[in-house]
Amino acid sequence: MVHPPPKTPSKRVRCRSDAKTPLTPSNKKSSQPVGVIRKGGVESRLDVVTCDYVPPPPKHELKRSKSTPGRDRFITNRDTTDIAAVAASLEQMSLNTQSSPNHTARLAVATGVPVNRRILGYHEQPPAASSSDNTLAQQREYAKPLYAQRPGALPSSTGAITSKARKIPTQPERVLDAPGMVDDFYLNLLSWSCQNAVAVALEASTYIWKADTGSVVLLGEAPEGAYVSSVDFSNDGAFLGVGLGMGDVELWDVESGQKLRTMAGHVGQVATLSWHQHILSSGCADGSIWHHDVRISRHKVMELLGHSGEICGLKWRSDGELLASGGNDNVVNIWDGRVGDVNESTRGSAKWTKRNHTAAVKAVAWCPWQPSLLASGGGTNDATLNVWNSTTGARLHTHRTPSQITSIQWATQRKEILTTHGYPTNSLMIHAYPSMERVAEIRDAHDSRVLFSCVGPGGDVVCTGGGDENLKFWRVWDSKSGEGSTGKKKKASAANTEEVGGGRLNSTREGILSIR
């Protein structure tokens, strides 16, 4: 039996009109060309595709991570969840210590939590803070300077160096214990003489620490019931003025350790003293300033009245022509220092009076290399460093600091200013002049506020006293003359770098000002 030849598969009609379809035995019978629609034929009743079919792009299925389960998470509905039932079931749960008893026991011991006790659980919401209790708000207000963004703030409390060529140690060279140092912002209990001796007042006692030898000498005691409120060396270092809380001013011979005289007359505590040659000026709590001529019996030669609050800052200019004073009335006064032939009733008037500070002004200092410049610093509510021109009375520079300014020291070999600060930073800051940029800062220099400071005769070491009853010696500047605060040539030995003034490390007496 002969089978007919298989039919050739039909081909898809091309969309191009000029395409030629080859003749095959199967389509020779048709006289019509392929792709032509006959009128009235079957093709006219069909939908003709004029273009090739283009399949859509494949859909990309979202692939799950192997760590992600293939099922949805179950999230509880807090509105319908029985919190009490869940809490009860959680309380019945306990840790299975059988699987890893040693590890579980170590965790329990390290955290101090019993094994069968839950760390996290359901509890009632804590009560809201009372609106009538503003203690927390006050504490936050006091702590705000700690977290405020300060311009040029340093990143750490260990101090920082902004210049690679400048090395400033962040640790003191020596620390002396000073038990009994009064933590009072208005007092001035520290002084360093040109003979390299440091005077410090501890309650009713006055001590002399000699940097050359490291020895400690008890100079004198205040009368019974009184306390020492200020000390200051004379320009030649031979005498020490001591102000008392009851208003007297004592004069002591440093070499012999004898009290030469007591100059009475003030009605309040004498919180600050300043020398110029034979004139010892004292500032009183009643706002008056007295000039005492220590050579004559009638010691009071002039009285300056220009403050309504306690005098807490007083400094003579090196040439003796001007005297600067700061008081608890937020005022800075610059006085004509010429005394001349005057009597007890003579009154002086201020050459300039500045009321820009908004807090007590204790820190005042004259520039050693440009005598017309005076720097002053305000207390807690002000914390501003101002530089004045004593010739014209103009304020040349002003700089805001993060905390109260307790003292100011000008560098003798550099154009820089050092300031000591109280709460909340308890720091030492060095500012460049005249840009007032912060060169370095030593945060938390004392455990309490830094109250007093003085510079050694070499101009390289600064001694600070704080409310933590410590004296600390910082070498913040280098002496270009090659001599330190001892007046002796510096040595390159490592042992000498641990000493201040070349003193012996174990030369103390009775534990007062003991070295640690």
Distance CA 36, CA 324 (A): 117
Query: Are 262 and 282 a contacting pair, CB within 8 Å?
Result: no
**Phi/psi-derived region of residue 253, left when phi > 0, alpha when psi is between -120 and 50, beta in every other case:** beta
Residue 72 scores a pLDDT above 70: no
Give residues with Cβ within 8 angstroms of 136, minimum separation 6: 129
Residues pairing with 232 in the sheet: 241
Q: Which domains does the chain have, with CATH numbers?
A: 174-339+347-475 (2.130.10.10)
Per-residue pLDDT tens over the stretch 331-386: 999 998 876 544 555 567 789 999 999 999 999 999 999 999 999 999 999 999 99
User: Residue written as tokens 């300056």?
Assistant: 304
Residue 323 vs residue 13, higher pLDDT: 323
- Can you tell me the distance from the alpha carbon of 171 to that of 445, in angstroms, rounded to the nearest whole number? 8
- Residues with Cβ within 8 Å of residue 212, at least 6 apart in sequence: 196, 486, 501, 502, 503
User: What's the gap between Cα 431 and its chain centre?
Assistant: 14
DSSP run (H or E) holding 241: strand 239-244
pTM: 0.65
- 285-291: average pLDDT: 94
CB 467 within 8 A of CB 449: yes
At residue 258 the predicted structure's pLDDT band, cuts being 50, 70 and 90, is: very high
- Peptide linkage before 434 cis (omega within 30 of 0): yes
CA 124 to chain centre: 41
Helix, strand, coil share of the chain (percent; to 5): 10, 30, 60
Distance CA 405, CA 376 (A): 9
Average pLDDT, the chain: 78
Report the amino acid identity of residue 162: T
